[in-house]
Structure 1
Amino acid sequence: MQPAPEPANEDDRLRALQTSGLLDSPAEERFDRLTRLAQRIFNVPIALISLVDRERQWFKSRQGLDICETSRSVSFCGHAILGRDLFEVADAHADPRFADNPLVTGEPGIRFYAGAPIHDHAGHALGTLCLLDQQPRRLTERERLCLRDLADCVADEFSTIDRHKLASVARQTTNSVIITDRNSRITWVNEGFTRMTGFSLHEARGQSPGQLLQGPKTSLATVGEMRKQLAQGLGFDVEVLNYRKDGHPVWVHITCNPLLDAHGALDGYMAIQSDIGKIKAVEQLKRELTVTISHELRTPLTSLTGALDLLDEGAVSQLNDSARRLIGIARKNSQRLRRLIDDVLDMEKLLAGQMRFELSPQPLLPLLERAIEAHQTYAVDRAVRLNRVDDCPDTVIVTDPNRFQQVMSNLLSNAVKHSPDQGLVTIHARISGPCVRIEVVDQGPGVDEAFRERLFQPFAQGNSSDPVNNNGTGLGLAITREMLEQMNGRIGLDCSPDQGACFWFELPRADSAMIQPDRMTVEK
């Protein structure tokens, strides 16, 4: 006798079996119906739904057999769960793996075995639907297909158990829970959904959540990201402004995950929505306070900066070297504070949707040349060379030319600032699908891996111990990301330790299907 080896994913498989709730559960007619059907269709004395546990196989449903379990070491099903195909033994007496098996030499006297493995939604083989006979035989191809179909029915019932467990948990949560089919049409919602939105299950069923809940101020960019993920069968995690049945807006955080059937195929989605209105209200209050303070600082700061400029240029009286040095320090810090205030106000305009974008087809080459020319003086002062590599010289992109220059200014100034003396900053433009990718590559120290997750967040700064490279506002990259998203673009970083940084961004080409004519001018 040859006991079956363990599957490669045995620990995960056993964990899935234990959490399924199937082991040692009471008999259920829906499973007994399927084993009776198998017994009759194939004209066999014994039909079983067998679950292969660590040391035993336990029968969830059985026809023609009195015992409810056997040792796993003598089980045929232990062999069947090793693959996805049907496992068949035409004559156990002639098979050296089973000829001396006690289930063959003794009761129930197995000569023929056929088992179709049953997998859960994650692909774990929990057990089999199997047929046993005391006579040798071989299934026809049609019979094999029929047994596979019946096993799939058992797997669907296992999946239904999972859905019932999901629904049971969802009923007890105060959050909103939505379950949809694979086409994103609502099949079930909990009471938390009704409390949050005002829509009942009867009103919501069959509709898409977007059609039901999105409104005039729902972010099109966020909607686009959700649709993109769903089109790929993936989930998402977003914050979005939805609308109740009475038209009242409500900020929600949505976590959506795909639901898979017994064969790992997409079967629908489950989304959990939580009300974050109070959090958003506090954030809005903080932003308003920041903007108010920034505006109040701007006027006296302008006067202060002007006075320092006059003093530094000797317009009032001659200053000794010590006084001139102090005035120079004060002037530089007042300019830095002015940049910080301007960045804070720009960031608030972006977040509040008050910054206007004039999107239009623009030749890429003049835009890049203008950006590089604007930074030549700064690069020369830092002994850094700027080099352009253009693989798409005739390309036309859709962008706001002024905002494009702001994006390039942030990336180029960062690259020059972080470059070593005699360093090189390369600006590389190339086609990337329906977009153009512009890369700004420096030869600096790169970006610490621990810092990369926060890189595009407001006020994020790297090594605070470096006085040369830490004199920014911490808002430049956050503003850059927001601007690019408003222009149907995106930004990212490719970086290896001690090999410099490659910041890249993409914008759609003018001939790309990504561009919608009615959104060429947008006030975001």
Structure 2
Amino acid sequence: MSAPLPSNEADRLAALYELHVLDTPAERDFDDIVKLAATVCAVPMSLISLIDVDRQWFKAKIGTELTETPRDMSFGAHAILGDDLLVVPDTREDPRFAGNPTVERSDGVRFYAGAPLVTSDGFAVGTLCIFDSVPRRLDTEQLQVLRALARQVTSQLEMRRYATALVNTTARLQELERRKDELAGLVGGELRAPLRLMRSYLADLGNTGMHDAEQAELVGRATAAHVRGLSDLLDHLASMADAGHGMDSLHMREIDLTRLTQRAVEAVRPIATTKQIWILNQAGGPSMPIIADPVRLEQVLTHLLFAAVKYTPAGGRVRVGTEMESGPTVRLDDMDMPGGMRPELFPHLYYGALADPGLVPGPDRGLAVAKRILDAHHATVALSDRPGDGTSLHVVFPVAERELVDA
């Protein structure tokens, strides 16, 4: 049975296309998520599926060589209709899927669970989903992990789009500055004389009511000679307006860094639990006001914590806290384990976020994107690694200035 279209289908598709992710190459960040989902839920297949007009396309996959399937055969088209997980313990017992060709095969899909990928604007663009060839159920912990991993997928998709927008915004601001210089030269140079002549003529005409044919002829000749300059002036003004509007900008306001860090910790905790990683949350101190975009910054902090959990061996420890250094600071310590076993976070942070923070494909592109968004917040990132102590990451933000809040 084909799924009905969501009531907001046009807007949902627009949100999907704005992510610029369809038909892009595979990326390790997303591949790691489907592997983790399959491992935690003990299933052979997991997908990050994005629902297009007439197809579902797979950004990441494990357990299949397919890259897309028709939308009218997809389970995800049903999953995006809800706000929470769609769990189908036995597909042959569900009238929505019993006649699906992927179910009817002898080795077909008998179990499905999909968590919708809901953007910060509320649009379900796809699913993180798992499949099995036998009926089954998930326990509470597995359900929580699927939800947490789906949020991680959405955050990474949105962070990539936003980091690209930051690059475009910077280029447009540079173009705006260049055009301002050109405009200053245009107005202050060749157009000044004809504009002064026209002003004088119009003033005399207003004062006397008399038409001065000789002066009118001078104005006409001057105007004709500078039509191109006047046209350029209008073009410059229009392009400056275009450059200044429609840019993706940070929605800055005063927020509590301590509370935001606590939210990021709780978002990642279900994933850490499955690896038996202990997150010591020390972000429970006094309020630390900063000026930031709460949505983007929470996505960044969540991704940094997710990276720490991903690169920490099972049974490891991650400590998170907020404190006042040269400014409000988030501190993340990926601690060494007894017996000399070390977490692998340091090289990923260093090479992915510090040494090469550009927007280039690579295994740690998500960390590079996170660093670019931190740069837009004027945050300072410091990284250290000492045997016996582990990896320590400090992200220091400027102190909130009241005039920025009141602006």
TM-score by length of 1: 0.36
Q: Give the strand-richer structure, 1 or 2.
A: 1
Structure with the greater alpha carbon radius of gyration? 1
